[in-house]
């Protein structure tokens, strides 16, 4: 078990909610709400709480004196402490949409209108993971909800977002702000690498991060012209790479990706549907010089005329007919002169999928986008409560895969374990059940089949909800006796 994985085995969800909210009673309320929802994250509020607890939850999220960032302070502090203990981390940044159904043209107070059927807001998150061994999710260090002014219905909504989270002059501002703020929060840790996908491919961002001495790996989304640092020959980055020798070859298993209408249009364009397959990849690397855009959309006079960056390419050879080949071109500050160093860049970038899983843990594992709270304030406070809960779901899954010998008590209470044993009778329980066993048993309650591979968030969510219902019935029976 890695050091980071061992750290996660000792985490307590109540401690992640131990934030100073200005009144000890509020803090205790937050801890109890978090613990209750953490036990059944995808269940409906009436299923989780009794009538008095439910009223307390609604009072909490409606309270104008409680601030989104304050709720997250304890989790941020604990994340920083875990990162300092590990000492070598990756900071994964990404943006996501939180979509809620729009029915009968009724827009919830303060939300953006995305389409005739969708409303919601966006958020930029920064997830800290360990860089050695299996990537262990250490916590969420940054989380900034935001909205586009043009999609808001009225001035009141615009004022709310400006007051709560401040306005951004450009889409790229949030990337650099997140890098600077999270890097600053981890002051004293030298081994920090920032990971970003194609949305972050901007000369402004790359040049600014170089200027501020941030280490990064960014997947490029456009094939810029570049000049060879030695010959000054002008070629595209792809042309510059294809002329390089192959450093290594690997066979990589690619998971299937659906083209479901439930995904946003931007998501389907960025990640088109594909079938599951084993891909053969070739790797190349070199250093290139990229010139500042000649007709930028904003003033870039403060930036250098050109930057030198290392690029690493992973290119699929002989993809199936009709399928686009997998191709990553990664811009990085990391060394690439040795084969293992260049491959390490690719391996680090592969950890980026964890933030996609984290967003799924919020939306599906915590059923956040199914919540029917009616105002942006209540939705945001509900989200702040769910952020460490979703992280804890990610932790439980990490432990079930990489620390499968940990005792079941890490994941469930003695009562829940007894209920699972009774409910999943055909399961081959060991004498001392482990986290792995109970995770798969909960997934079985949610309808998971072993032949389908690892359980997803929806299946685990259904399983947790079934376990909660059984636990409520069991406790009622015990009280009756």
- Look up the CATH architecture of domain 217-347: Alpha-Beta Complex (3.90)
Tell me, what's the pLDDT at 348? 96
Which range is least confidently modeled, 73-87, 262-276, 421-435?
A: 262-276
pLDDT class for 56, splitting at 50, 70, 90?
Answer: very high
- Domain ranges (residues) in the chain: 1-197+352-400, 217-347, 404-480
pLDDT for 387-404, tens place per residue? 999 999 999 889 888 887
Higher pLDDT, 274 or 368: 368
pLDDT higher for 62 or 301? 62
Per-residue three-class SS string for the chain:
CCHHHHHHHCCCHHHHCCCCCCCHHHHHHHHHHHHHHHHCCCCCHHHHCCHHHHHHHHHHHHCCCCCHHHHHHHHHHHHHHHHHHHCEEEEEEEEEEEEEECCCCCCCECCEECCCCEEEEEEEEEEEEECCCCCCEEEEEEEEEECCHHHECCHHHHHHHHHHHCCCCCCCHHHHHHHHHHHHHCCCCCEEEEEECHHHCCHHHHHHHHHCCCCEEEECCCCCEEECCCCCCEEEHHHHHHCCCCCEEEEEEECCECCCCCCCHHHHHHCCCECCEEEEEEEEEEEEEEECCCCCCCCCCCCCCEEEEEEEEEEEECCCCCCCCCEEEEEECCCCCCHHHHHHHHHHHHCCHHHHHHHHHHHHHCCHHHCCCCEHHHHHHHHHHHHHHHHHHHHHHHHHHHCCCCEHHHCCCHHHHHHHHHHCCCCCCCCCCEHHHHHHHHHHHCCCCHHHCCCCHHHHHHHHHHHHHHHHHHHHHHHHC
Query: What pLDDT does residue 457 have?
Result: 82
pLDDT of 272 reads 63
Cα distance between the two ends of the chain: 44
pLDDT bin (cut points 50, 70, 90) of residue 417 is confident
> Angle between the 376-402 and 51-62 helix axes, to the nearest 10 degrees?
110
| Cβ count near 412 (within 10 Å) | 23
More confident residue, 55 or 400: 55
Task: Give the confidence band of 70 by pLDDT, cuts at 50, 70, 90.
Answer: very high
294 vs 185: CA distance, rounded Å: 35
**Is the pLDDT score of 211 beyond 60?**
yes
Those residues whose C-beta lies under 8 Å from the C-beta of residue 480, and which sit 6 or more positions away, are none
Fold topology of 404-480: Transferase Inhibitor Protein From Tn5; Chain A, domain2 (1.10.740)
> Does the structure show a pLDDT above 70 at 202?
yes
Q: Is the model's pLDDT at 127 over the cut of 60? A: yes
- 426 or 272, which is more confident: 426
Q: What is the distance between the alpha carbons of residues 447 and 463, in angstroms, rounded to a whole number?
A: 8
pLDDT in tens, 214-273: 999 999 999 988 877 667 778 899 999 988 999 999 888 776 666 554 555 555 565 666
How does residue 435 score in pLDDT terms, banded at 50, 70 and 90? confident
Is the pLDDT at 15 greater than 90, yes or no?
Answer: yes
Mean pLDDT, rounded, for 134-163:
92
pTM: 0.90
């Amino acid at each position: 078990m890695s050091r980071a994985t061992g750290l996660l085995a000792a985490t307590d969800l109540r401690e992640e909610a131990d934030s100073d909210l200005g009144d000890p009673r509020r803090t205790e309320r937050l801890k109890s709400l978090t613990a209750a929802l953490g036990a059944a994250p995808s269940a409906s509020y009436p299923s989780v709480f009794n009538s008095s607890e439910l009223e307390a939850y609604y009072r909490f999220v409606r309270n104008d004196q409680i601030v989104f960032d304050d709720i997250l302070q304890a989790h941020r502090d604990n994340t920083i402490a875990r990162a300092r203990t590990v000492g070598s981390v990756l900071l994964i940044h990404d943006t996501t949409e939180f979509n809620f159904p729009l029915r009968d043209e009724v827009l919830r107070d303060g939300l953006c209108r995305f389409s005739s059927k969708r409303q919601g807001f966006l958020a930029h998150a920064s997830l800290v993971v360990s860089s050695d061994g299996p990537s262990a999710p250490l916590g969420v260090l940054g989380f900034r909800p935001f909205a586009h002014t043009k999609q808001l219905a009225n001035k009141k909504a615009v004022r709310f977002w400006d007051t709560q989270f401040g306005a951004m002059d450009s889409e790229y501002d949030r990337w650099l702000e997140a890098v600077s703020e999270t890097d600053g929060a981890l002051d004293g840790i030298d081994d920090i690498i920032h990971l970003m996908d194609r949305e972050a491919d901007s000369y402004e961002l790359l040049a600014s991060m170089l200027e501020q001495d941030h280490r990064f790996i960014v997947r490029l989304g456009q094939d810029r012209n570049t000049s060879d640092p030695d010959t000054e020959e002008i070629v595209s980055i792809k042309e510059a790479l294809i002329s390089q020798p192959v450093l290594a070859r690997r066979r990589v298993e690619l998971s299937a990706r659906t083209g479901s209408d439930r995904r946003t249009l931007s998501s389907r364009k960025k990640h088109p549907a594909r079938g599951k397959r084993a891909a053969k990849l070739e790797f190349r690397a070199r250093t290139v010089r990229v010139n500042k855009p000649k007709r930028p959309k904003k003033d870039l006079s403060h930036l250098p005329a050109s930057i030198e960056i290392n690029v690493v390419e992973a290119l699929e050879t002989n993809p199936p007919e009709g399928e686009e080949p997998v191709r990553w071109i990664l811009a990085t500050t990391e060394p690439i002169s040795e084969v293992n160093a260049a491959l390490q860049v690719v391996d680090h970038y592969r950890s980026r999928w964890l933030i996609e899983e984290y967003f799924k843990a919020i939306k599906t594992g915590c059923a956040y986008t199914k919540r029917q709270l009616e105002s942006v304030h209540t939705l945001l406070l509900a989200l702040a409560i769910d952020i460490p809960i979703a992280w804890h779901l990610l932790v439980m899954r990490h432990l079930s895969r990489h620390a499968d010998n940990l005792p079941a008590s890490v994941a469930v209470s003695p009562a829940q374990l007894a209920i699972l044993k009774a409910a999943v009778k055909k399961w081959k329980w060991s004498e001392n059940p482990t986290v792995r066993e109970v995770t798969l048993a909960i997934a079985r309650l949610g309808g998971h089949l072993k032949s389908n591979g690892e359980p997803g968030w929806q299946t685990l969510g259904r399983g947790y909800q079934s376990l909660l219902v059984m636990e409520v019935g069991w406790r009622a029976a015990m009280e009756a006796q």
